[in-house]
Amino acid sequence: MSQRFQEEHQAFRRTVKTFVEKELAPNADQWEKDETFPNWVFKKAGELGVHGAHFKEEHGGQGGDYWFSVAKGEEYAGIHSAGVGMGLLVQSDMATPCIADLGSKEQIEEFLKPALAGDKIAALGVTEPDAGSDVAGIRTTAKRDGDDYIINGAKTYITNGTRASFVTLLCKTDPNAGYGGISIILLPTDTKGFHVSKKLKKLGNHASDTAELHLEDCRVPARYLLGEEGKGFYYLMQNFQTERLIGAVTTVAGCQRAIDTSVEYGRNRTAFGKPIIKREVWQHRFVDMYTDLEAARQLTYRAVEQYNEERYEKGGSLSFDTVKLISMAKLFVGEKSSTIMDECLQFHGGMGYMDETFISRAWRDQRLIRIGGGTSEVMRYAIAKIIGL
């Protein structure tokens, strides 16, 4: 383990590992078939302090730094179902960090604390049928009406969408103000006019529920506005960095599992008189995979170091250099993980093509990292802007 992890991080890692091995991994195959997992998983993770380890104590967390989230994300790879990990990470690392940053005392009590305890389930509502990585293109509107907002629109590809207690929702409060007309509003899903249009079927991450949402004249109190009106786009860009960083962390861990599983398979699978891992061509390819994975891990850890320093040690905003590193980590991990997973599946031969094998699931689950949280193409565009191209 990296020296970046202290004993308290390792103790927490052991807690997560035990939770994963005893209560999650044994159910992964069934949850993949069910295309969902039970709500008690959120509650148990909350009881163990898993959701809130890197949140302040006054927010209902345990007061740790971001390395606690890294340890958690790495251990989630042991679930053997990225969909379960995805649902849990949306709860702790995607839909709630901006509430911790911006939320009023009342919003912390009503939304954040119950989410970290696992009593409420959170979703992040950004993507729309006509707006994905181009966040500024969203069409969902929130019009002020006295002490309320009236929200109309649609969201899609929303993880936890079929069962969320609330959605951290991006919407336009001023359609004519461009980036300055976007705001974030906390939307309870029991609000009249909120509907789950349908549950979506996906290539991978089968155990996470992903939904299309419809909002028709949803009236919510203006006090559910998160931060200042018109600054939602800028808040979201900061929040995206957390999503991209934890995505890189978990993908590196998933690749490590895939390589380890493949090497073990190769020691026991004999072809033409000897274990296939002893074939020089495959030894060389695994050396390349190990090298790429270590480079991906160290780039990701470097990004975590700067993120942790600026957000947890100094308590400030992220510098462009840190945003650049996070974007590079997500881009590099996404590209290399595709190669690694494909090589590992190829190494398994016909067995790798079977739906019930771990490697086929890992292969299809991994593909999301190049799309979710900003596509690889968007990452290149962001990096090009930062470095002055």
* Region for residue 151 given its phi and psi (left: phi exceeds 0; alpha: psi -120 to 50; beta: otherwise): beta
Residue 197, CB-side half-sphere exposure with 13 Å CA sphere:
15
What's the burial of 71, exposed, middle or buried (CB within 10 Å: 0-12/13-18/19+)? buried
Angle made by CA atoms 20, 21, 25, in degrees to the nearest 5:
75
Write down the catalytic residue from 75, 128, 243, 343.
Answer: 243
**Residues 195, 211: Cα–Cα separation, whole Å:** 10
- For residue 27, give Cα distances in angstroms to 13, 36, 202: 20, 11, 20
Cβ-count burial 14-42 (b if 16+ within 10 Å, e if not): ebbbebbeeebeebbeebbeebbbeeebb
Closest residue by Cα to residue 123 from 81, 75, 88, 73: 88
Cβ-count burial 316-331 (b if 16+ within 10 Å, e if not): eebeeebbbbbbbbbb
Q: Identify whether 212 is a catalytic site residue.
A: no
Phi and psi torsions of 82, nearest 5°? -65, -25
Of all helices (H) and strands (E), which one includes residue 264?
helix 232-268
Q: Is 186 helix (H, G, I), strand (E, B) or coil?
A: strand
Residue entry with tokens 């949280």: 373
**Residues 62, 56: Cα–Cα separation, whole Å:** 6
For the annotated catalytic residues, the residue numbers are: 243
